[in-house]
Amino acid sequence: MFTEILSKFGVDWPHFIAQLVLFLIVYFVLNKYAFGPLLKILDERRKRIEEGQLNAEKIKKQLAEAELRYQEILRKANDDAQLLLEESRKNNEAFSQQQMEKAVKDSAAIVERARHEITSERNLMVDEVKREMVSLVVKTTAKVAGKVLTPEDQKRLSEDAAKDLAS
């Protein structure tokens, strides 16, 4: 019965065995020279992909850690900058106060020097005016008296005029 069914389908045992042997030979050859290396390449590729995924996860973790370190460094830099800014402000205020005090002292010194110079100039001008007045008094007296005064007379008149002007 089985042979009848096989014969109806055109199965011939010698051909079937030959085809089976050829199929097995082709299978083993392909398995050894084609499928084996191909499966090996696919397995290596699968391993590289898994390693790449593991590396990608590791890189993501490192990137997250680097981002945290970056944020921490940035926060610390901002804190340091704030401290420096505050210190700079304090130093600037102290320096401004010192400069203000120095400017006040300098201006007081300038005012004092100006007063001293004004007093000196005034004294010089008063002395000069006194000399001019004495000279005018001597000349006027000479003209009024109508005579030429001797050097002794001029000296005595100058001393008298200087005394009168001083008082």
The mean pLDDT of 1-7, rounded to a whole number, is: 76
Tell me the three state secondary structure of residue 150: coil
| 133 in Cβ contact with 141 (< 8 Å) | no
146: left (phi over 0), alpha (psi -120 to 50) or beta: left
Answering whether pTM is above 0.85, one says no
Is the pLDDT confidence value at 166 over 70? no
| 140 in Cβ contact with 116 (< 8 Å) | no
Mean pLDDT of the chain: 86
Question: In terms of pLDDT, which residue wins out, 103 or 132?
Answer: 103
Tens digit of pLDDT for each residue in 12-63? Answer: 878 889 999 999 999 999 888 888 888 899 999 999 999 999 999 999 999 9
Report which secondary-structure segment, H or E, holds 57.
Answer: helix 36-145
Distance CA 13, CA 20 (A): 10
Which residues neighbour 130 within 8 Å (Cβ) at sequence distance 6 or greater? 162, 165, 166
The mean-pLDDT minimum among 3-12, 72-81, 120-129 falls in: 3-12
